[in-house]
Structure 1
Amino acid sequence: MPIESDLTIDSSRFRPENVTEATKQINSVLKQATANAPQWYEVGAAKYREMHASGQLALPAPVHLPNAIDATLPSRDSSREIPIRIYNPDNGQSSKGVFLHFHGGGFVLGNAKSSDQRLQMVANGAQLTAISVGYRHAPEDPYPAAPHDCIDAAEYLIDHATEYGTLKFMGGESAGACLAIITALRLLGSRPSHILLGLVPQYGLLDLSLSLPAIKTATNTLMLRGSALENFSNAYLPGLSAEERRNPSISPLYEDLPALAAASPNGLPPALFVCGTADPLVDDTILMHTKWSIAGGEAIVKLYSGAPHGFTALPGMPVADEANALGVQFMQEKLEAAA
């Protein structure tokens, strides 16, 4: 019989003929809309954030829901607290736990209010309390400010489960996916008895040295240019060499996952990795999924043909709706299995 590979992937996801017309049309609109858009490193991070909030950029300003609740959590620094935004299920039924979310934005942009509609969808669909963390940004607060805030928030929620419910899931997009994975791996050591039911990292920036081939060879840089990646990385990690940026506390792709899993009483949490095939970070997702599986963790990877970086945040894009619904389904299944 023919020799079969020990590792398989559905390569049809990468074939141009399998990109849907809807995805092509939205990509075309995005390309035209963003062709001459200013970059954050051209106008300054603070100004760019203001422009985004007021709808002055090519993409629409975030929609803020009136029922979302702003609050804070304590941090390791006694002089400050961590902003959070809370989304409760609005169907009148009790929450089954907490989904902790870390927004994207290259460690520079975004905030706890960036994803109101999607997080309310998660809260309603999975019957969870969704909590978004407003971690500190570079360049004002470079590494390790962001992971410190995310880890502090997760550990506090675990230690004070009566306040919002039991922390059961974590996830995020791009830089937020990186922070979600770093936080989850930290919890294996700092809170070993806690069982995290699942991770939902979407198109994560997991190698901050920017060394992987998809970044180097990308020709379709819709939504994420190579220069933007370099500027994000330099703002977040000023003065660090490429080798220093491969520290696992910065780039989780370089973590010794088998060792962490072996030392943890519960191993790695299940993870659903999501990425578009037109994303320069697709190698990050594929490699992390593979390493997660090799280390004994349940790992699912879903690739969306022709989808660019950040696609799950694009309203009206069918593959975005599909990917976001899949994340809710993943959490529903894990909740049912744990019941």
Structure 2
Amino acid sequence: MPLKSDIHINVAKFEPSNTSAGTAKANEDLINLLRDGPKWFEMGASKYREMRDAGKTPIPKPKLLPDGLDIEIPSCDSDRAIPCRLVYPSWRKTIEERKKTRAIGYLIHGGGWVLGDQNSADILLQFYADAGDLAIVSVGYRLAPEYPFPCGPNDCIDVGEYLVKNGEGVFGSSLRFIGGESAGAHLSLLVAFHLLKTLPDFELSGLILHCGIYDLTMLPQCRNFVRPNLILDHNLTRKFVDAFLPGISDEQKKHPLISPYYEDLEGFRGRLPSALFTCGTEDPLLDDSVTMATKWMMVGGEAVVKIYTGAPHAFIHMKDKLKEAIDAQEDTKTWIKDCMANL
């Protein structure tokens, strides 16, 4: 009888030939759509953000839902507040009803620490809220290059601490979920590790980590990925990282406060929440999800890893183009419900 491995991978999920014809075509359409569009690193991030907000970039302008609320959460800096977006389950319309949500979810948007804001993903916020009967808070953290590291992470930590300490009083429930995609998944891990270190009684039920980057020196999949204009490739990742971490050496990038991949997870044994890692195989950050999830399980944490063959970076937002986005959202809903069943 052959020796059995202690680690198992569904190899078929990573086989390029298993990419569906529809997904392959959608990827080519994305490449063609983005090839000649404006580039934030050529025109300047601020100008590009203005164009995106005006609907003048190939990526559609985010849709705001009428029931979403604009709120502010105090910063540790005494002279300012942090803008946030708050979305409740669609069936909870009154203040009294909204105080009965079962838990708080905290979403941190992606965009390479350079793009996006608290208004970037109302549709996804509503999906999460309805999936688990959650009050979802989205943070508008400060963006690079105007505000490089540690400004954005500090804002995200400030909001996380506020939700832990004031969730019951302000929102009627406690913080149980943190998550995001891409840079938002990176920031989610930084926040979670900070809260677990500084608040010994804090219990987190789940982390939603879509296509995150956890080693900012960039792992092999990222370094070797050369499909320009398929949302993200090595060169664009480098430009985002350089804007976020100007003048920071690769050795400095390995500090756990910058790259959560290097965090000593042994110190969290027995306290790590369940974590959902999702990623497509046409994503330069695939290695980050696979390796981080493995490290998670090595210290006894529950990690659910879902791989979507042929899907590009940030595909979770592409329900109108990719079946894999529909599958990923349904998988996320199932995982949220599983976590809620354990509360």
Q: TM-score, normalised by structure 1?
A: 0.96
Question: Could you say which residue in structure 1 is the equivalent of 2:176?
Answer: 168
Q: Distance in 2 between matches of 1:235 and 1:29?
A: 28
Instruction: Name structure 2 gaps, 5 residues minimum.
Output: none
Question: Could you say which residue in structure 1 is the equivalent of 2:118?
Answer: 112
- 3-state SS in 1 of match to 2:86: strand
Q: Check conservation: 2:103, 2:134, Cα contact below 8 A.
A: yes
Q: Which of residues 278, 287, 291 is equivalent to 2:291?
A: 287
Q: Distance in 1 between matches of 2:157 and 2:271?
A: 19
Question: Could you say which residue in structure 2 is the equivalent of 1:242?
Answer: 250
Q: Distance in 2 between matches of 1:121 and 1:268?
A: 25
Q: Distance in 2 between matches of 1:315 and 1:192?
A: 39
Q: Distance in 1 between matches of 2:329 and 2:319?
A: 11
Please tell me whether residue 331 in structure 1 is matched to residue 327 in structure 2. no
Q: Which of residues 177, 191, 203 is equivalent to 2:211?
A: 203
- 3-state SS in 2 of match to 1:304: strand
Question: Could you say which residue in structure 2 is the equivalent of 1:215?
Answer: 222
Q: Check conservation: 1:257, 1:295, Cα contact below 8 A.
A: yes
Displacement of 1:121 in angstroms is 1.3
Q: Distance in 2 between matches of 1:328 and 1:101?
A: 15
Aligned positions of 1:267-282 closer than 5 A: 267-282=271-286
Aligned positions of 1:54-93 closer than 5 A: 54-92=54-92
Displacement of 1:132 in angstroms is 0.3
Q: Check conservation: 1:84, 1:131, Cα contact below 8 A.
A: yes
Question: Could you say which residue in structure 2 is the equivalent of 1:322?
Answer: 327
Displacement of 1:103 in angstroms is 0.2
Identify which range, 10-19 or 127-136, moves more after superposition: 10-19
Question: Could you say which residue in structure 1 is the equivalent of 2:265?
Answer: 257
Question: Could you say which residue in structure 2 is the equivalent of 1:2?
Answer: 2
Q: Distance in 1 between matches of 2:137 and 2:25?
A: 33
Displacement of 1:319 in angstroms is 0.8
Q: Deviations over 1:248-304 (max 9, x none)?
A: 11100111111x214xxx511110000001100000111100001101111111010
Q: Deviations over 1:177-211 (max 9, x none)?
A: 0000111111111112111100011110111112x
Displacement of 1:109 in angstroms is 0.3
Identity value in percent: 41
Identify which range, 19-28 or 97-106, moves more after superposition: 19-28
- 3-state SS in 2 of match to 1:306: strand
Q: Distance in 2 between matches of 1:269 and 1:337?
A: 12
Displacement of 1:324 in angstroms is 1.7
Q: Check conservation: 1:63, 1:117, Cα contact below 8 A.
A: yes
Displacement of 1:337 in angstroms is 1.5
Q: Deviations over 1:226-267 (max 9, x none)?
A: 221111111111111001011111100111111x214xxx51
Give the root-mean-square deviation of aligned CA atoms.
1.2
Q: Deviations over 1:123-152 (max 9, x none)?
A: 112111111011110111110111111111
- 3-state SS in 1 of match to 2:176: strand
Question: Partner letter of residue 320 of structure 1?
Answer: A
Question: Could you say which residue in structure 1 is the equivalent of 2:202?
Answer: 194
- 3-state SS in 2 of match to 1:272: strand
Q: Check conservation: 1:150, 1:179, Cα contact below 8 A.
A: yes
Q: Distance in 1 between matches of 2:143 and 2:316?
A: 22
Question: Could you say which residue in structure 2 is the equivalent of 1:25?
Answer: 25
Q: Check conservation: 1:155, 1:191, Cα contact below 8 A.
A: no
Question: Could you say which residue in structure 1 is the equivalent of 2:308?
Answer: 304
Displacement of 1:315 in angstroms is 3.1
Displacement of 1:38 in angstroms is 1.9
Displacement of 1:225 in angstroms is 2.6
Displacement of 1:35 in angstroms is 1.2
Q: Distance in 2 between matches of 1:335 and 1:217?
A: 39
Q: Check conservation: 1:101, 1:170, Cα contact below 8 A.
A: yes
